[in-house]
Structure 1
Amino acid sequence: MKKVSVRRTISIAFMLMVGLFMVNSFAFAQVKPKIAILATGGTIAGVGQSEVGSAYKSGAITVDKLLAAVPQINNIATVQGEQVVQIGSQDMNDMVWLKLAKRINELAKTDVQAFVITHGTDTQEETAYFLNLVLKTDKPVVLVGAMRASTAISADGPKNLYDAVSCAIDPTSKGRGVMIIMNDKILGADDVTKTMTTAVETFACPNYGPLGIMYNGKPMYTRTSMKKHTVKSEFSVDNLSELPRVEIIYGYSNVTPLFVDAAVKAGVKGIVYAGVGNGNPSTTLQDALVSARKSGIAIVRSSRVFSGPTSQFDEVDDEKCEFAASWYKNPQKARVLLMLALTKTDNYKEIQRMFIEY
């Protein structure tokens, strides 16, 4: 009797342990990362006039419909969707940037573990770089878009969106700064740019190369950006309701001071000159830029050339002119950094330091 009783007790204890293990395993399997998807519109939310035509209206679909088109996301994450704005990214502006940045910084203090932002591709690189400089979290932040409308026969949005979520919730994505996921590539905000007007492989990092690739739904990183970003950045949007006005002026043969003079008259705080070659201005235009600088306007030299640095002290005496050189920042990213720099200083040496560090 005693042996039977002991065996029965052991058997019951074993069954209880197995049951407890199964319950815990089931509970563990049900815990999925919580992610916020903030939608701004763009081609990824676009509706076309036909399945094969290129004409479409961007930002026509809301975030709930975007998510409904990719139900597989619910298998890997608990999703919180939010419509921030519903525009084509050609209409992106400073007010939306500030709203988006402040919202992410707010949500970063909660149990949200990662962020995905759906965005049009036209200005996606600028939004990514702005957020890279002002977000105060090391939680993954990934921007994603599409080159084909959601109704197209070969829409790239659903795959890009799934990859963005998969990348954002992966533990290896933490602390890498703001990224863009497009066409199986993981691209860092500090270097990414749009290179083609219509092709799905449009985004590239021409100077440093991608951070990695998406492979079978998982990120595989090959490098890390060494530039300051997010929690190590000195910039903040906490007390900002607007950004200093900075304009980009394009360089070309026979360029005149017309647009420099107009910018000065308009009261801009900064000018980014997208010069030829190594950001070179003509003699006449350089004189106009020096005059603008003497009137208190910050001047940054960048280049209209696709890749490579706009370096200091080559053909232009930056020290004498009190210019800053953008180094690896293209004109549109140079504008973003200069706007934020001007919230802290108008000293050209300090601005130059920022262009080297960021």
Structure 2
Amino acid sequence: MNTEISFAACRAGKASQLPRHRLLRVLLLSAGPLLAGVATAQEIPRYAPPPPMPAANARLPTVVLMSMGGTIASRGAPRLNITNYGGKDYPRVDPQDWVNDLPEIRGIANIVLEDQRAPQERASSETHEDFARVARRLNELARDPKIDGIVVTHGTNTMAETAYYMNLVVKTDKPIVFVGSQRPWTGLSGDGPRNLYDAVRVAASPQSRGKGVLHAMNQFINPARDVNKSSAYRVQTFRGIDVGAIGFVDPDKVVFYREPVRRHTSGSEFAGNDYQSLPRVEVAYAYRDAPGYLIDAMVANGARGIVVEGTGAGSPTSDQTEAIKRAQAKGVVVVATARTEGGRVQDTPRRREARIVPGDNLVPEKARILLQLALTKTQDLGEVKRIFDEY
């Protein structure tokens, strides 16, 4: 059928001259583009509606939002300033500011606010006293039956260390999620609001229980043991180099694909204790011609353990090896890690003969924390090795 001729017939008032089945076909063909446009408009709305607020009687999980500061709690000006912010020139972002600026989280959980920031004058140099105070509080919150999950904000520079420490000393199956940002809260295209929103979703999810302390940024979920910062400024900085993410915070739901297998939180022999202080453990970095006198100085200043960040698969230099022997003669426990950050330091015959404990695939700063905790219990090399094998 010639559709143009039929249209002309309709315009000329000759529609009655067409058979009824041909007239119906003409009308359907002419209406097709209009119907398609309507369907498209219905399927792809011009804007996404905001998430609905919960009903007054809705049973939402209760999530504690705890601030330990960091870039996510920092301001700067102008908005394009995403590298030089905070300090005495700009007031810090209070926990209540997060809730005010991000009302969407009220649709996820009942939020309880906690401020555990270090004083402004030493916000960038937290001490073990700060860690101990927060660990004590996390243990208290974990025992509260009204609390379902906890989100802890932290600066990204040392977040992985803090999260790993809490992973070892907080006794709970409840989700504890660490989060931060690479850009200040006031920055243009800042990653803080989305990261915080996602972290609350992870802490509120029943699927997050029993997985130890988690880290959620840039939509990736990693265990505290495995995650490390890999880039100074990029928002995709946190990665689990050897094992990768265990889940993702997708727009439709929080989804997990794997379970952490190393001991943590409720399964940790260190959990629930209040460590007011820890044995001194230092880190010695190996590089070409690295001297041994730095290790001697560590021992002279009271180090009970030394973590060597070795070359290749965890090797110290010749001078460091001699210094290690002198340290071991004084009862110092030595653990080997690799400066490559990826790959395990293995238990080889040569390493056993040297009485050096392999640090598995832990980065040196995390091996240091684990060795500190191990030394609160034992100096036996076999027991220290067991701890590194299990955690």
| Shorter-chain TM-score above 0.5 | yes
User: Is the contact between residue 90 and residue 122 of structure 1 (CA under 8 Å) also seen in structure 2?
Assistant: no
CA RMSD, Structure 1 to Structure 2 (Å): 1.7
User: Is the contact between residue 39 and residue 84 of structure 1 (CA under 8 Å) also seen in structure 2?
Assistant: yes
Q: Deviations over 1:154-186 (max 9, x none)?
A: 110010001000011111110011011000100
Equivalent residue, structure 1, for 2:289: 254
Equivalent of residue 66 in structure 1, options 89, 95, 98: 98
**Please, what TM-score do these two structures have when normalized by structure 1?**
0.89
Equivalent residue, structure 2, for 1:342: 375
Q: Which has the larger radius of gyration?
A: 2
Equivalent residue, structure 2, for 1:11: none
Equivalent of residue 107 in structure 1, options 141, 148, 151: 141
Matched, 1:161 2:178: no
User: Is the contact between residue 272 and residue 334 of structure 1 (CA under 8 Å) also seen in structure 2?
Assistant: yes
Equivalent residue, structure 2, for 1:43: 71
Q: Which amino acid aligns with 2:386?
A: R
Please identify, of 214-223 and 224-233, the stretch whose mean Cα deviation from structure 2 is larger.
214-223
Q: Deviations over 1:62-96 (max 9, x none)?
A: 21112222111111111111111146874122111
Q: Deviations over 1:269-327 (max 9, x none)?
A: 1111101111101122111112101101111111111211111216xx23222211101
Matched, 1:95 2:129: yes
Q: Which amino acid aligns with 2:101?
A: A
Distance 1:90 1:282 in 2: 33
User: Is the contact between residue 132 and residue 274 of structure 2 (CA under 8 Å) also seen in structure 1?
Assistant: no
Distance 2:256 2:162 in 1: 22
Distance 2:126 2:359 in 1: 23
User: Is the contact between residue 296 and residue 323 of structure 2 (CA under 8 Å) also seen in structure 1?
Assistant: yes
User: Is the contact between residue 176 and residue 224 of structure 1 (CA under 8 Å) also seen in structure 2?
Assistant: yes
SS of equivalent to 2:143? coil
Q: 1:349 Cα deviation (Å)? A: 1.3
Q: 1:97 Cα deviation (Å)? A: 1.3
SS of equivalent to 2:270? coil
Equivalent of residue 229 in structure 2, options 183, 194, 198: 194
Q: 1:49 Cα deviation (Å)? A: 3.0
Distance 2:221 2:201 in 1: 12
Equivalent of residue 208 in structure 2, options 159, 170, 173: 173
Cα pair distance change 1:286/1:96, threshold 3 Å:
same
User: Is the contact between residue 37 and residue 79 of structure 1 (CA under 8 Å) also seen in structure 2?
Assistant: yes
Distance 2:59 2:220 in 1: 28
Distance 2:210 2:336 in 1: 30
User: Is the contact between residue 34 and residue 80 of structure 1 (CA under 8 Å) also seen in structure 2?
Assistant: yes
Percent of counterpart pairs with the same letter?
36
Q: Which amino acid aligns with 1:55?
A: N
Distance 1:157 1:96 in 2: 23
Equivalent residue, structure 2, for 1:6: none
Q: How many corresponding residue pairs?
A: 331
SS of equivalent to 2:117? strand
**Please, what TM-score do these two structures have when normalized by structure 2?**
0.82
Please identify, of 46-55 and 269-278, the stretch whose mean Cα deviation from structure 2 is larger.
46-55
User: Is the contact between residue 191 and residue 205 of structure 1 (CA under 8 Å) also seen in structure 2?
Assistant: yes
Equivalent of residue 277 in structure 2, options 224, 239, 242: 242
Matched, 1:291 2:326: yes
User: Is the contact between residue 301 and residue 323 of structure 1 (CA under 8 Å) also seen in structure 2?
Assistant: yes
Distance 2:215 2:328 in 1: 35
Cα pair distance change 1:181/1:217, threshold 3 Å:
farther
Q: 1:239 Cα deviation (Å)? A: 4.2
Cα pair distance change 1:97/1:260, threshold 3 Å:
same
Q: Deviations over 1:205-255 (max 9, x none)?
A: 001110111111521111111101011111135242111111111110011
Equivalent residue, structure 2, for 1:14: none
Equivalent residue, structure 1, for 2:352: 319
Question: Gapped runs of 5+ residues in structure 2?
Answer: 1-53
Distance 1:267 1:117 in 2: 33
Please identify, of 233-242 and 345-354, the stretch whose mean Cα deviation from structure 2 is larger.
233-242
Matched, 1:135 2:167: no
Structure number having the greater strand percentage = 1
Question: After TM superposition, what 4+ stretches of structure 1 lie above 6 angstroms from structure 2?
Answer: none
SS of equivalent to 1:30? coil
Matched, 1:55 2:84: yes
Equivalent of residue 113 in structure 2, options 81, 101, 104: 81
User: Is the contact between residue 163 and residue 218 of structure 1 (CA under 8 Å) also seen in structure 2?
Assistant: no
User: Is the contact between residue 246 and residue 335 of structure 1 (CA under 8 Å) also seen in structure 2?
Assistant: yes
Q: Which amino acid aligns with 1:98?
A: A
Q: Which amino acid aligns with 1:338?
A: L
Question: Gapped runs of 5+ residues in structure 1?
Answer: 1-24
Distance 1:244 1:256 in 2: 24
